Amino acid sequence: INRGDRVWYNKIDKCVRNIKYMETNGLLIGPHASNLLSEIVLTAVDSKLSKKYKYIRNIGDYTCYVQTSDDAEKFLTDLAKELRKYDLTLNIKKTRIVELPTAAGEDWINQLNSFPAFCGRAKEKEIELTRKEVKAFLDLALNLAQRKDDFAVITYAVKMLSSKSDDDDEKRKVKLDTSALRWYLSRMHHLLLAYPYLVHVVDGCVLKMEGVEVEDIKKMGDDLYRVGKEKRLWEACSYALYWSIEYGYEPEAGGDNIAEEAVRSEDCIFMLLAYLRARKDGDDAAKDKMVIKAKELRDKDFERYWLFVYEVYRFEGEVLWHERDNANGKSKDKPKKISRLDKILGQFECLREAGISFIVDDFSEKCNR
């Protein structure tokens, strides 16, 4: 391991430590941090490569237009060479040379938009689809997704079926007849269990469709929770609990063990929603488990679990900081040096006193019994 101060990754680590009281946890993780770090590294690559080529870079995706196939090969060779300086490599599966001209947009988008049920009906303010049309459209989307190895196709198709689309500043509403809706919900239920990452589009589009009943959401939510628990996909479990509170039903999956499963997961959002579910149910035993966990994490790893810890203390009406003062044996006669954690807790205590919450008001009200 090279620990020299002039090595690029050590320079980044030093900057990170400067904002973390000189503590290090390695390089930052997460989508925003990754974008920032990639920009730092790839800007250095740009400074070399841009002297020879004119290209477009979108985060880590390069697009370079050249005159010949040989020039394209040279660009890839030079790009790979510059990336190797930072221990980076090209993703061979996503790297290709394409001869121009090409279609202006993705061909799968054109195929979906050209589907007979939509094509030529742009001026209609409302389109009602039959079961036969919905089935054919979703089958087309699934086939395209498998052929292209890109499940963004399904997300796009679901949005076309489930939302309003813009056309010359007018809203075109897509509606499914009763038979089509019943089939569609059943199909999306199965797809959600096979591909839990579809939970975002299901939550944003499918559940908000006209004619969807609470019982439909409950069946999806309970099955999603079971799949999430089995595959340790805590985001799936979190969505299942969120739906149960948002749409006002009692979940069957998890039963009396939701709090224990959330504590074992040590997933911040899952634990917070398990606590909120316990509040709504008036389940003091489950709520106490979550409060105990919040107190443990307050002292153990507050910076990672601050959202869970803060909201539990806010709901419980307890003070984040002064309990630690008592636990640490502070007194007026013997002042004690304030630790870094106590400083952070003090800042969050100001938020609590001001009544600040990171939970939307409407949802927060639904969490009360």
Q: What is the pLDDT of residues 318-329, one digit of tens each?
A: 776 654 545 555
Which amino acid appears at position 316 of this protein? Answer: E
CA atoms within 13 A on the CB side of 303: 10
CB-facing half-sphere around the CA of 121: CA atoms within 13 A? 17
Tokens representing residue 335 in the block = 């002042």
Helices (H) and strands (E) in the chain, counts: 16, 5
Q: Are 278 and 308 in contact (CB under 8 A)?
A: no
Q: Please determine, for residue 165, whether its predicted confidence score (pLDDT) is greater than 50.
A: no
How sure is the predictor about 167, in pLDDT bands with cuts at 50, 70 and 90?
A: very low
Q: pLDDT tens digits for 118-161?
A: 876 666 778 899 999 999 999 999 999 888 888 889 999 999 99
**223-263 pLDDT per residue, tens:** 999 999 999 999 999 999 999 999 999 999 888 899 999 99
Chain mean position to CA 228 = 15
How many residues would you count in the chain?
A: 369
Phi-psi region of 227 (alpha: psi -120 to 50; beta: other; left: phi over 0): alpha
- Token readout for 316 is 């419980």
Residue type, 225: Y
| CA separation for the pair 1, 27 (Å, rounded) | 15
Q: What stretch of H or E contains 172?
A: strand 170-176
**pTM for this entry:** 0.71
> Could you tell me the two tokens for 45?
């690559």
- Cα pseudo-dihedral 249, 255, 260, 262, rounded to 10: -40
Condensed to tens digits (0 to 9), the pLDDT of residues 265-274 reads: 999 999 999 9
> Is the confidence at residue 332, as pLDDT, over 60?
no
